[in-house]
Amino acid sequence: MWFGSGFQESNSKCSLNVTGTNVTLSGGQYTVTVNVVFKDPYNGVKYTWLNGYDTDGVATGWIYGNANFTIPTQDYPPQTVAVSPSSGSNQPGQLQQFSYTASDINGAFTIYHSELVFNSGPSWIPGYQPTTRCKIIQDSNFISLENDAQNGYVNGGFAPFGSSQAISNSQCTVYPSQSRGVATSLQSETITFAVAFTSSFNGQLQDHIFAADNLGSSA
């Protein structure tokens, strides 16, 4: 890998985002900046150690970095940012992409589930079922659409992002081929759903978003 390459490397203790990692040279001094997210349960007080090599292969040996770093044991819930576009209008059957960002201090890799719900009410509470709604679910790299009875999924399951098979119920159609989930940083993921509403699901609609991580917290 090279600095700024956009790659991400992970092990059981941490993830390294190469995009945010760089090195600068000033005089005879190198400054290396690394963008790291630690993983649970790798927590508590950690000590920093440094080792450097020159082009002749001569090393400094491991040197205490003179700094301690505390990784909290508390699980912080993910946060969600409002859907974009924030307002607009569409003709029935017209495709529209809706995007929102979910972030988690524990790392974007912990965000495994999110939901985007459209209904005609001003608020939405998990478990509450309005008469009609368009509820789209993202689980990892898969997408699904709630059925009309609101007790399961259309076609009984999930389709991967990028799949050519559209998913429909009486309120909307979701296009996995134009939907995606992309990690935009070590701690954030942007989810985009391509949706077209039916003529019967009309009027002013409200959108609601929900996200959960694999550590048991939700927003």
Distance CA 115, CA 180 (A): 13
pLDDT of residue 6: 58
pLDDT of residue 5: 60
Distances (CA, A) of 39 to 10, 29, 69: 10, 31, 14
Distance CA 142, CA 126 (A): 21
pLDDT of residue 55: 87
Q: Of 217, 167, 218, 158, nearest to 196 (Cα)?
A: 167
Parallel, antiparallel or unpaired: strands 188-197 and 14-17:
unpaired
Tens of pLDDT, residue by residue, the chain (219 residues): 666 665 677 888 887 877 667 788 888 888 888 878 777 778 888 888 999 888 899 998 998 877 777 776 666 788 888 789 888 888 888 999 999 999 887 778 778 889 999 987 655 555 555 667 899 999 888 999 999 988 899 987 889 999 998 999 999 999 999 999 888 887 888 999 999 999 988 888 888 888 988 767 787
pLDDT of residue 12: 83
pLDDT of residue 153: 92
pLDDT of residue 198: 94
pLDDT of residue 125: 58
